[in-house]
Structure 1
Amino acid sequence: MDELARLAGISVRTLRFYRERKLIPPPRREGRIAWYDDHHLARLRTITALLERGHTLSGIAELAEAFDHGRDVGELLGMEPPTDETPVRLTPEELADRFAGQDTPENLAAAMDLGYLGTDGQQIVHISRRLLDVSTALVREGIPLAEVLRAGKEVRTHADTLADLFADLILRHAPEEALHRLRPLARSVVDAELSLALDRRLRKQHEGTDETDGKAAGTEEP
């Protein structure tokens, strides 16, 4: 314990306090000897970094609990066939920086349930750099992370339906091995249709705004 506290740059008293608050996992014991390893040191350095960023110990404790009970990254990355998405490895403090104040256990649990997040030792792994970047951008625009995750869950349902549609279409007319080769075509169709749908939505909103402005500018005849 003395050695761990020295390497982490904290006092033994602080280390004991962190243990009591369950901010770090228990040591491995051999008889009366308690062994700490690099994972404990990494967690202590993470706690220090999060405190410096303004997080409370209560919030860090909740984050640690969610982190410790997260899905192993092997459950996410061991899928066949392999995904086209690029996973991103993050430390807890890097995740906190992206979603400052919103990296709550509830949001982490929701992201883990969706399969967005997994754990690998003391790192968090996001399954898709594109999804991570989009989520970060939406939160920075003022949209709550909880709402982003709820939308992601709805999108997942529609995406599964579209995937089934294209898979059935291809498998009815082509050999099974063509499914992976032709998936970029399916993605292009979905991307184009979504772009057109957004155009229609924006045009409809613009027309509605013009109509409202016109009524506001008009005068009532006597």
Structure 2
Amino acid sequence: MEELAEKAGITVRTLRFYRERGLLPPPRRAGRIAWYGDQHLARLRTITALLERGHTLNGIADLAKAFESGRDVGTVLGLTEPTEETPVRLTPEELADHFEGEVTPENLANALSLGYLTVDGGELVHISRRLLDVSAALVRRGVPLSVVLDAGQRVRAHADALAELFLEIVAEHPVTGGAEALRPLAKSVVDAELSMALDRRLSPDGVPPGPAPADENDQPRS
């Protein structure tokens, strides 16, 4: 216990308190010896990261119970909603392979808080194959995972505002098929507007590029 507390950067008294609150699973016992492993150290570091992000001990205890029972952590956090995204089941090792050493306790805690990751039994579940692939691609191109997660939180705020806007339109002007029929149309609008916004910012003069000039050979002949 003393060795574990030292590695985790906490006191033995704090470690005992976490054990009493059910935040830490019991050690493996061999006779009178209690063995703590890497999973205990990872749990303690995750607890520290969650506390730093403003979570309460009661909330962390609920998360710990979810880990132990295999319940979906997203449900505990109130972050699971119906979605058309395809979830991906991953072992901790597979998740680490996706992000090349970027799966720190802080990043894991952030991903759990955002609802990108949940837990199902002994596996992790990422809520979206597309977001997983894009996030991993950004990390491979040199963007730290912590920055990717912070950007995701900011994008979510804008996406929520856009969703509210389109739902207000449906509420005021009912469309055939209801809100679900509006989904692909709304996504097309957002995709086109984002593309044009990037054009404006990437163009040297701030003006989106126009159509390419026609080749002489394409000119109509008299």
Contact 1:62/1:104, CA 8 A, preserved across alignment = no
> How much has 1:106 moved relative to structure 2?
0.5
TM-score, normalised to structure 2, is 0.61
Aligned to 2:101: 101
The equivalent of 2:42 in structure 1 is: 62
When you count helix as a share of all residues, which structure comes out higher? Answer: 1
Deviation at 1:73, TM superposition (A): 5.0
Offset from partner CA, 1:23-54 (integer Å, 9 cap, x none): x943899xxxxxxxxxxxxxxxxx9xxxxxxx
**Structure 1 residues not aligned, in runs of 5+:** 1-16, 30-46, 48-56, 208-222
Match of residue 165 from structure 1:
165
- Superposition RMSD in Å: 3.8
Report the Cα offset of residue 182 of structure 1. Answer: 1.4
Aligned partner of 1:128 in structure 2 is: 128
Task: Tell me the SS of whatever aligns to 1:119.
Answer: strand
Is residue 193 of structure 2 the alignment partner of residue 193 of structure 1?
yes
Matches within 5 A, 1:4-43: 25-26=25-26
Indicate how the Cα distance of structure 1 residues 73 and 64 shifts in structure 2: closer, same or farther if over 3 A, else same: farther
Percent identity over the alignment is: 55
TM-score norm. by structure 1 comes to 0.61
TM-superposition CA deviations, 1:104-128 (whole Å, max 9, x none): 1110111111110100011000000
Q: Return closer, same or farther for 1:205/1:156 CA change in 2, 3 Å cut-off.
A: farther
Displacement of 1:204 in angstroms is 3.4
CA distance in 1: counterparts of 2:204 and 2:121, whole angstroms:
49
Q: Which amino acid aligns with 1:139?
A: V
Corresponding residue for 1:183? 183
Cα 1:78/1:141, change in 2 over 3 Å = closer
Residue number in structure 2 paired with 1:117? 117
Distance change in 2, residues 1:147/1:155 (3 Å): same
1:176-220 deviation digits (Å, cap 9, x = unpaired): 96001211100110011001111111103899xxxxxxxxxxxxx
Structure 2 unmatched runs, 5+: 8-14, 16-23, 30-36, 48-62, 208-222
Distance apart, 1:100 and its partner CA: 2.1
Q: Compared with structure 1, are the counterparts of its residues 161 and 101 closer, same or farther at alpha carbon in structure 2 (3 Å cutoff)?
A: same
- SS state at 2:161 partner: helix
